[in-house]
Amino acid sequence: MYSSGKICLPIAVVLLAAVGGLAGATEPGSFGYGSVATPAQIAGWDIDVRGEDGTGLPPGKSTVDRGADVYAEQCAACHGTFGEGEGRFPKLVGGVGSLRDERPEPTVGSYWPFAPTLWDYINRAMPMSAPHTLSADDVYALTAYILSLNDLVPHDFVADRNSLPKVKMRNRDNFIWTDPRPDTMAKPCMNACVDAADVRISSTAEGRDLTPRTTGPLDTMQPK
């Protein structure tokens, strides 16, 4: 058994190397499936904007005042007249200085690190019930208005592909983009890991009336 194993091993290594070599040699287009995407096709779908430097922002521009009009028509029903948020729809303004509080309020003004991301998101996803219906100019207008509501730009601000990346967002420098985890170093102790007398319940979900039922029809509960 040993000898055959010793003989087989080098063969296996050679075979693996050969297969690996083939896989590594794959040239672009070697399957040849599909079609090469044309510049016109790409232009239609190439909507992404980079937050940090605004790469991808299209031509066009608009003002805070125009934004107020578009906002009243397209956004205020959910986000409130001044971005305060209706019901549980997101607030767009406020919360500045709240991030270390017991109840922080992350908004465009207090939390978002990059202004071009706001243009990208409105253009990409808003208004929720009719996405991709706003012109580039109107998206610039809304971006200008929401930034203005947050006192991030002056009232005469004109939003365009050059001005948006230059807007200094308050929380810009407070993100760490490298994951520091694992950040806990628990040890897998098996016996007498803590003093039994120290085991105490610090919180319980019993009686909180927050949990929908998990049998019968779907629950429509609201918090009391």
Partner 1 sequence: MRPDPLRSKAVLSDLAGPNAPVVRRSFLRLGAALTGSLALGGKAAMADPAQGSPPADAPWSQSIGAGVVDRPYGRPADTEASVIRRNVPWLTASAESSVSFSPLQDLHGIITPNGLFFERHHAGRPDIDPAQHKLMIHGLVERPLLLTMKDILRFPSISRIHFIECPANGGMNWRAAQMNSLQFSHGMVSCAEWTGVKLSTLLEETGIKKEAKWAMVEGADGAHMNRSLPLDKCLDDCLVVYAQNGEALRPEQGYPLRLVVPGWEGNVNIKWLRRIKLGDKPWHSREETSKYTDLMPDGTSRGFTWLIDAKSVVTFPCPEKPLDGPGLYEIRGLAWTGNGKVRRVDVSMDGGVNWQTARLHEPVLSKALTKFTLPWRWDGRPALVASRVIDETGYVQPTIAELRKQRGSNSVYHNNSIQTWQVKSDGSVFNVQLG
Q: Pick from 9, 13, 15, 221 the residue near partner 1 by CB under 8 A.
A: 221
CB 73 within 8 A of CB 177: no
* Region 15-54 residues binding partner 1, contact defined as CB under 8 A: 26-31, 33-37, 41-42, 45-52
- d(C-alpha 187, C-alpha 89), whole Å: 42
CB of 8 to partner 1, least distance (A): 27
CB of 19 to partner 1, least distance (A): 13
Indicate left, alpha or beta for 168 from its phi (over 0: left) and psi (-120 to 50: alpha).
Answer: beta
CB of 111 to partner 1, least distance (A): 6
* Region 78-117 residues binding partner 1, contact defined as CB under 8 A: 78, 87-90, 99-100, 104, 106, 108, 111-114, 117
CB 75 within 8 A of CB 129: no
Buried b (16+ CB within 10 A) or exposed e, 95-113: bbeeeeeeeebebbbbbbe
* Region 156-215 residues binding partner 1, contact defined as CB under 8 A: 171, 174-196, 199-206, 208, 210-212, 214-215
CB of 165 to partner 1, least distance (A): 12
Q: Pick from 60, 124, 136, 158 the residue near partner 1 by CB under 8 A.
A: 124
Q: Which is nearer to partner 1, 1 or 186 (CB)?
A: 186
Other C-beta atoms lying within 10 Å of the C-beta of residue 129: 9
Q: Pick from 21, 128, 166, 168 the residue near partner 1 by CB under 8 A.
A: 128
Smallest CA-to-CA distance from 73 within 23, 166, 142, 158 is with 142
Report helix, strand or coil for 5. helix
